[in-house]
Chains A and B, each alone.
Chain A
């Protein structure tokens, strides 16, 4: 998965806003993809959860666009390079999906994404020389810290499933 060091070059505040926006948009697309996968396999609880997560990330994207003011983050994001790993930090790990997964697994996925985003913004705070970039990244650190805490709170409401959670005596046939 993505490491903070995989990030595209950030040399202006516009770059930071654009990357932050793209991170959220990528997360929306990934959660929608997972919701579609769960829909195909009739895991309705997870369909609802992944759609909710996509909606939440979409709201974050809009918030970043509002914060960016006159900067056209959509156009700017398209001009920036991609992540070296090919994945941005909040994209949930497709490898971790399973048709029998539970809300606990989905929240673990979401938590991992928020933690990667947090590590990314922290790395900018630590390394940026531009004061505006550093300050804005610090705001994003606060924001992502809240998201991490929210995922942790939600996780506490769900019990970890037994080890046999993925065992299926009659596994799905994919057609």
Chain B
């Protein structure tokens, strides 16, 4: 272990001094704990990790770690992260998003990031609501979510992110629950270690706009079957479960996409020359 690695082996070493603004009781606090515990377990120094995000409550997470971070444009975290991973394949790239940012505004990026299979980890902190903007229904909200903002419910079928990830080519698919720190940490470690595009959906209750989600802690359970490397089998299991089976559900064997890129321009003059007409 190098001196740098020895320096950063406690979860606290991955926390910044910025205090989270998330509501007390929000699952995102737990996920921050699990992020730092996973990084510590991996023994990767903070300067070798980049946490990239979009917009939303979940996307504040880069500020709360002292890894490299980028709080990007709404729904575009995967595009940013892909660019970073291609140019700096040595970095551990972890992308954080929410169900609105990741599945609605960034839905198209999600499909193609799975298909592209770059070696990075995509964590979606799913609370089935737009919390930051006061509780509008998101792509994963149940059709009967009846509030002043969605009278009578939306009546729309919820997005099924894990099945869509499988169908689009993600190489690792898992579901976690924010309140189960040990399991979530373990899943994050496995996801980061697995080659290719790893997708982890973490159920993260929004106690302010979805107080009913406090019950999730009594509904989640370990997945009754071990992970498979057969995407068809994994998809069938996911289509028939109730959304509360926790664990690694699919480990693929696809080779990660590692594009060969040319040498970067050494200075501005050289870069300008490349654009000469």
Within 8 Å CB of B217, what residues of A?
95
Interface string of B167-211 (1 = CB under 8 A from A): 000000000000111100100000000000000000001011101
Within 8 Å CB of A86, what residues of B?
37, 180-182, 185
What interface size band does chain B fall in?
Answer: 20 to 34
Are B19 and A101 touching (Cβ within 8 A)?
no
Q: Whose C-beta in chain A lies nearest to the C-beta of B185?
A: A86
B145 an interface residue at 8 Å Cβ cutoff? Answer: no
Known: A94-B30, A172-B208, A173-B133. A36 touches B19 (CB 8 A): yes
Are A40 and B132 touching (Cβ within 8 A)?
no
Within 8 Å CB of A69, what residues of B?
none
Interface majority SS on A: helix, strand, loop or mixed?
loop
CA distance A121 to B42 in the complex (A): 32
How many A-B residue contacts, CB cutoff 8 Å?
71
Q: Which of B20-28, B72-80, B88-96 faces chain A?
A: B20-28
Are B182 and A98 touching (Cβ within 8 A)?
no
Within 8 Å CB of A39, what residues of B?
19
Are A40 and B208 touching (Cβ within 8 A)?
no
B237 an interface residue at 8 Å Cβ cutoff? Answer: no
Q: How many residues of A contact B (CB 8 A)?
A: 26
Q: Whose C-beta in chain A lies nearest to the C-beta of B37?
A: A86
Are A171 and B181 touching (Cβ within 8 A)?
no
- Cβ distance A72 to chain B, nearest Cβ, rounded Å: 17
Question: In the complex, which of the residues A84, A94, A101, A166 has the most CB atoms of chain B within 10 Å of its own CB atom?
Answer: A94
Are A98 and B30 touching (Cβ within 8 A)?
no
Within 8 Å CB of B153, what residues of A?
none
Within 8 Å CB of A99, what residues of B?
23-25, 208
- Given contacts A37-B22, A174-B23, 6 further A-B pairs with CB under 8 A are A37-B20, A95-B217, A98-B207, A171-B135, A174-B60, A174-B132
Which A residues lie at the B interface, using CB under 8 A? 33-34, 36-41, 84-87, 94-99, 101, 166, 168, 171-175
